[in-house]
């Protein structure tokens, strides 16, 4: 039996805030947003209008790995909004993106 060896390869499995993606944009009735989490937990999702007013709030369970969540925006007036996703168990680590409701 022949044994072979190879070089050790290190992988960085940590994901950054840049992995926060929202589509479609612009949107009509629903938005889908995806992001990576290192651990299971709970996130608060806020939709904020351009005046800084929270117009919608949800709480969702997330899991270690990539998460894909969907939110209805049918009841929002056309315009620009921000989506803010923040873990309940971590402070100051919010993800924010802007989107347009048609």
DSSP state of 78: S
CATH number for 88? 2.60.40.1930
**Residue 5 resides in a domain:** no
Average pLDDT of the residues in 74-81 = 98
CA distance 42 to 8: 35
Range list of H helices, the chain: none
What's the domain range around 51? Answer: 25-101
**Residue 2 resides in a domain:** no
**Residue 94 resides in a domain:** yes
Q: Rounded to an integer, what is the distance from CA 54 to the centroid of its chain? A: 17
**Residue 9 resides in a domain:** no
Q: Which residue has the higher pLDDT, 3 or 40?
A: 40
Considering the entire predicted model, what is its pTM? 0.79
What total of structural domains would you count in the chain? Answer: 1
Percent of the chain with pLDDT over 70: 80
Tell me the Cα Rg of the chain: 18
Question: Which residue is it, tokens 């960085």?
Answer: 12
Percent of the chain with pLDDT over 90: 71
Query: Which 3 state secondary structure label does DSSP give 16?
Result: coil
**Residue 71 resides in a domain:** yes
Mean pLDDT for the chain overall = 87
In this predicted model, what pLDDT tens digit does every residue of 23-71 receive, in sequence order?
999 999 999 999 998 889 999 999 999 999 999 999 999 999 999 999 9
**Residue 17 resides in a domain:** no
Evaluate if residue 96 carries a pLDDT over 80.
yes
């Amino acid at each position: 039996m022949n044994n072979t060896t190879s070089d050790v390869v290190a992988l960085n499995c940590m994901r950054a805030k840049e992995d926060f993606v929202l589509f479609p944009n612009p949107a009509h009735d629903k938005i889908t947003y995806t992001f990576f989490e290192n651990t299971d937990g709970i996130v608060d999702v806020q939709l904020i209008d351009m005046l800084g007013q929270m117009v919608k709030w949800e709480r969702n369970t997330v899991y270690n790995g990539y998460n894909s969540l969907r939110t209805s925006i049918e009841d929002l007036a056309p315009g620009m909004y921000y989506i803010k996703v923040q873990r309940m168990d971590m402070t100051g680590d919010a993800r924010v993106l802007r989107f347009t409701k048609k």
